[in-house]
Structure formats: structure tokens, C-alpha cells
């Protein structure tokens, strides 16, 4: 099993984000305490390779790079990340097998 599954649409969107932000090295996902369910996903950018720690998980492909910091890996290992475009907007959709519950808006989760 891979640590993370990035769908083709998620990879394409990550590549698009990096193309539109040429000073950024990777799209990053972290888990922070907070949100109504206990933990929340925090999306951002890593500015350079030097910002990546040796224990961070980095997935690279032609046209994109995705990183999860080492402290967050235990909360999101096995997660599927997809990019969804719908009538009222677009967003990354996270399917986290470690989550035991979540909030109604999908922004936070419990383990």
C-alpha cells in the first residue's frame, strides 16, 4: 500500500498550482490541532527543497510535487486525495481511513 494515493485529477491540480506559483517547490498537506472535530487539514506550499525535512514524505512526478510533514503522516497515512470540480466550486477531497469522525463541512476530522 502506498502512503498516499493522489488521483490523476489531484496530480493535475497540484501541477497547476505549482505552475501558477513558480516560486513554490511543492504543495504541502499538514494536520493541525483544531477544527470542530479535533484535527484539521492545512494546505500550503513548501517554498524550497531546504524546507523539506528528511522524514517528510515527498511524492514527485513530472510536473508536480506533494509533501506531507513527518508529524502529520501518522494521521493521514493511506489517505486518498482527489480534486473535485462541482457547480458551486472546486476543492481537494480527502478520504482518510484513519478518521473516526468528522465535521459536516469536511474541514476537520477525529482519530
Over residues 88-109, the mean pLDDT reads: 82
Please check the confidence at residue 29 and state whether its pLDDT lies above 80. Answer: yes
Rounded CA gap, 17 and 27, in Å?
Answer: 8
Please check the confidence at residue 1 and state whether its pLDDT lies above 60. Answer: no
Domain containing 65 — which CATH number? 2.60.300.12
- 110: its cell numbers: 477525529
Number of domains present in the structure of the chain: 1
Residues facing 85 on adjacent strands: 90
Task: Cite the beta strand spans of the chain per DSSP E.
Answer: 4-6, 26-33, 39-46, 57-61, 64-68, 79-86, 89-95, 101-102, 108-110
pLDDT (tens digit per residue) in 41-72:
999 999 999 999 999 999 999 999 999 999 99
Amino acid at each position: 500500500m502506498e502512503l498516499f494515493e493522489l488521483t490523476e485529477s489531484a496530480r493535475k491540480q497540484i501541477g497547476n498550482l505549482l505552475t501558477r506559483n513558480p516560486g513554490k517547490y511543492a504543495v504541502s498537506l499538514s494536520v493541525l490541532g483544531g477544527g470542530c472535530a479535533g484535527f484539521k487539514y492545512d494546505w500550503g506550499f513548501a517554498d524550497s527543497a531546504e524546507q523539506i525535512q528528511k522524514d517528510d514524505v515527498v511524492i514527485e512526478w513530472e510536473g508536480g510535487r506533494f509533501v506531507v510533514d513527518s508529524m502529520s503522516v501518522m494521521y493521514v497515512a493511506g489517505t486518498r486525495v482527489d480534486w473535485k470540480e462541482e457547480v458551486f466550486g472546486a476543492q481537494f477531497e480527502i478520504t482518510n481511513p484513519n478518521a473516526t469522525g468528522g465535521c459536516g463541512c469536511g474541514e476537520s476530522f477525529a482519530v
